[in-house]
A and B are shown apart, each in its own frame.
Chain A
Amino acid sequence: MIALLLILVPMIGGIGLFFLKGEKAAKSVSLFVASVALGLMIAALTNQDPSVINFHAQWLPQLGSSFALKMDGMSKILCLLTTLAYPIIFISTSKNQYTSPNSFYGLMLLAQAGILGVFLAADGLLFYFFWELALIPVYFLCSKWGGERRISVTFKFFIYTFLGSLLMLVGLLYLYYQTPDASFSMQSLYDVKLTTGQQAWLFWLFFIAFAIKMPVFPFHTWQPDTYEESPTAVTMVLSALMVKMGLFAVVRWLIPLFPAAAVQFDNVVIGLSVIGMVYASILAMQQDDIKRLIAYSSIAHIGLMSAALFVNNESGLQGAMIQFFSHGVNVLGMWIVVDLIEQQFGTRKMSELGGLAHKAPTLSILLVVVALANVALPLTNAFIGEFLMFNGLFKFNVWYAAAGGLSIILSAVYTLRMIQKVFYGNSNSLTANATDISAAAKIGLGVIVIAIFVMGVYPKPVFALVSDTVNSLLGIYK
């Protein structure tokens, strides 16, 4: 039941916001709705009874599809990330002005409903439904409130992902006709017996859809442009939450549906991911725009996670799932800083900034913590995940681990260079009158920094949460 409410609350809130007038009202209502969702999520975490959390209802009986929602350990992690991220986004960007704010916040909440639906759906068709629904509000958000090149850039993004999901739909349909009881339910789909040949091409139909969403090299070309052109609040949703949809779908759908193909093509997928890691890191070093830098660094981080999902050992899978959460938190922190800088100075170019550390000490300290978490320094949350993932990759093949390790070194290079250029050195005419951050931004960043340290020192609760997903996945491989 809680799972249903989790989707309904932002959906109804989002639709309701369209009929609201006034900026203040839109902001407070959206924050209220997001907090209610967070409260529901906490209720779900403290509740051990699956019948209270999960939900099942008739939807399209003649198609064998039902409105089934199920929360396992990994869904919990990702739903928690989503519900936690939204209040943080709303608080830390509360100073930003948008034209027709009620539609903006309404669409943001609709996107949340879609994303949560993806993480909860336990029915193939329902999953596909939410997968698409999460995309539509984001398309409108980017095209309406984005930067100069927004229309063409988001259009590319939309068509790319839409094509991917349609290919997945064909695969899903084929799979559906192989089920003995003509049903889309997750368990029936899992139980389908496929030949190796069938698995092979179905694997690719699904994988391309997920790879575009993540994005994995060479399907990543939409990503830097879209991140750059979107309003930063939307970029946060895209990079902290929506890319996780692709990774999540690999764990919940791709590998359990086609385990033999996942083993057969593990080298291809891991190879592509590792190439993407190194390639994106090299590109990140060349960037002057902070937003593009973070976009490329995000591709590198996602590459490591997608590689770790296919290494087929406990360490890699565990690390990847913990990193789902850590990466979401860290990248959110990075975007908040970018947004603060852009709002204050009107530029995101590193070459035009400098010397902020004197003028805005709080911002600088918080950024350094987030940035160090981004390069996975010990004691921060990302260290745990990345260490485990590299361990898994190492067990799979030493050379992949070595090549991937290169991208970690490079990530330190570009992140530290960014800190240096933006916060140190001499201040110029633009940054001379800089002021420190507002209380709202402090709250947002403060929560993130706390999360970084708590998870970095005491990751055990998260391990406990994901252990059931990891074990069932390893069981499928065997």
Chain B
Amino acid sequence: MNLIIISAIWGVVMMFSGLFISSRTAAKNIALIGALLLLAGNLFDLSGEMLLNSDFKGMLLYDRFSLLFLTVAVISLIVYFLLSSKDILVVGNHPYEYFALIFFIMCGVGLVALFNNLLILFIGIEIISIPLYILTGSDKRNLKSNEAALKYFLMGSFSTGIFLLGIAFIFGATGSFSIDSLTLVPEGLLQVFLITGIVFVLIALSFKVSAAPFHFWTPDVYDGAPTVFTSFMATIVKAALFVGFLNLFLNAFAGHYEKWRLSVAIIIALTLFIGNITAVFQQSVKRMLAYSSIAQAGFMMFSVFAINDMARQGMLLYAAAYSLATIGIFSVLIKMKDFTFDGFNGFAKKQPLLAFVLTVCLLSLAGIPLTAGFFAKYFVLAAAVKTGIYLWLVIFAVVMAAISVYYYFRIIQAMYFKDGEGQDIEITPFYKGVMLTVAALIILLGVLPSSLLNWLVLY
């Protein structure tokens, strides 16, 4: 609760600071203070100390998993600010507004993670989406940015409509928006309504998390949006939507598992296939990362497919591993002029430390042991194996994981093994320190995932 309140307030604070403070660089410091406040609020949430100790008549549900996910999200946000807030300042003329929008999105993230009512989920997703449309188009003199924003808006509102329709069907079948009452299975014709509703919700949420075949907006939007916002929407936002996705299907629709599991399995297979195969053919690292985020969505979908305790742990680890690594890679990419793979040639000679951190991030995305990405993949796949059905899907997934090595390692090859000058990029020792911390976190989670997961069972 604290997190939702603080983020909403801080969004307003940011907007008003823009009116009264003329210094542009002050924006990032105020934003960082806000992010730290969010973390503090979230930690109080975890220990049960809330500003408003109410669940709003069952609208919100404070379970440990969701709160802990929010911790991961806020820590990722802090890392994101530390690494990239300078780059947010130079996107356009309204730095304070950009940060304000990010805080509003964090409010939506909180709602999506903690909802216990379909309406809250809907509102949360909208609170996330609308600022994202604006951020995508924030580079307003750039045609690609405009195109991306329009595309995203049109497609996004369309999927929102489908989502609403799904909720209406579900309401028609059960007479309630509350998750708790959805677990009752209605009889006869009403059951058809419920299943139809579930299918619509599944489609809409798959769109939001960019799962195939609803992924077509993703590459264009990720490519067109200012890189610094791509980093944000591909990581924290996507992970949050997945948590909402998982919570909904786990808490509300688990009773109809047989009805929807095949659809989810097919979506996973398609997402993995399209994401990985298309990523192989990209020449721009930014577009490759867009497709890789589709591919990673396929793996995160496994937790929705499995819906067991293992799946929740996997989702949590995946959110941490994927967000940290992707934010790290993007923060370097933003600083480069050349976004092609060749732009990384000889990077290791120029920036040995950054090259090492990038390598750790890429190994983590590829799921190599000793990095967080390995255990993330391990948990979601183990969760799927645990269900005991569709083992072909898991085998297919690991084949796709092997393919993903191809495009992640192209960057490593360019950095270490290919000759080149290496681009000049400006970095401060502070930036290096943060990057090193990111690498250390990834390795820590890769050796001892329990350092995060133990918090799930404490108290």
Contact = CB atoms under 8 A, between A and B. Distances in A.
A162 B385 contact: no
Interface in B146-176: none
A143 B416 contact: yes
Interface in B228-252: none
A151 B413 contact: yes
The A interface, classified by DSSP as helix, strand, loop or mixed, is: helix
A326 B165 CA distance: 71
B216 interface: no
Contact of B369 (A133, A143, A163, A177): A133
Contact of A177 (B370, B385, B413, B417): B385
Interface in B297-348: none
A136 interface: yes
Interface string B409-426: 100010011100000000
A288 interface: no
B183 interface: no
B398 A62 contact: no
B395 A170 contact: yes
Contact of B450 (A60, A128, A136, A176): A60
A174 interface: yes
Given A60-B450, A144-B417, A163 B402 contact: yes
**Chain A CB within 10 Å, residue with most, of B369, B378, B409, B449:** B369
A194 interface: no
Nearest to B453: A62
B398 A143 contact: no
Nearest to A140: B416
Given A133-B370, A166-B402, A167-B395, A151 B385 contact: no
B368 A136 contact: yes
Interface string A154-194: 01001100110011011001101100000000000000000
A163 B370 CA distance: 17
A155 B369 contact: no
B390 to A, nearest CB: 12
A159 B402 contact: yes
Given A136-B368, A151-B413, A163 B385 contact: no
A61 B385 CA distance: 19
A174 B387 CA distance: 10
Interface residues of B, number: 29
A62 B317 CA distance: 15
B350 to A, nearest CB: 14
Contacts of A169: 378, 381, 398
Contacts of A61: 450
Contacts of B363: 136
B370 A144 contact: no
B370 A129 contact: yes
Nearest to A205: B395
Contacts of B368: 132, 136
A169 B375 CA distance: 12
Contacts of A133: 369-370
A252 interface: no
A207 to B, nearest CB: 14
Contacts of A174: 385, 391
Contacts of A291: none
B369 A170 contact: no
B401 A155 contact: no
A150 B413 CA distance: 11
Contacts of B413: 143, 151, 155
The 8 closest A-B pairs by CB, nearest first: A166-B398, A163-B402, A173-B385, A132-B369, A143-B417, A129-B369, A173-B382, A162-B402
Given A151-B413, A159-B402, A170-B395, 5 more contacts: A60-B448, A129-B369, A144-B416, A155-B413, A169-B381
17 contacts: A62-B453, A129-B370, A132-B369, A133-B369, A133-B370, A143-B413, A144-B417, A158-B405, A158-B409, A159-B402, A162-B405, A163-B398, A167-B398, A169-B381, A170-B394, A177-B385, A205-B395
Interface of B: 363, 368-370, 378, 381-382, 385-386, 388, 391, 394-395, 398-399, 401-403, 405-406, 409, 413, 416-418, 448-450, 453
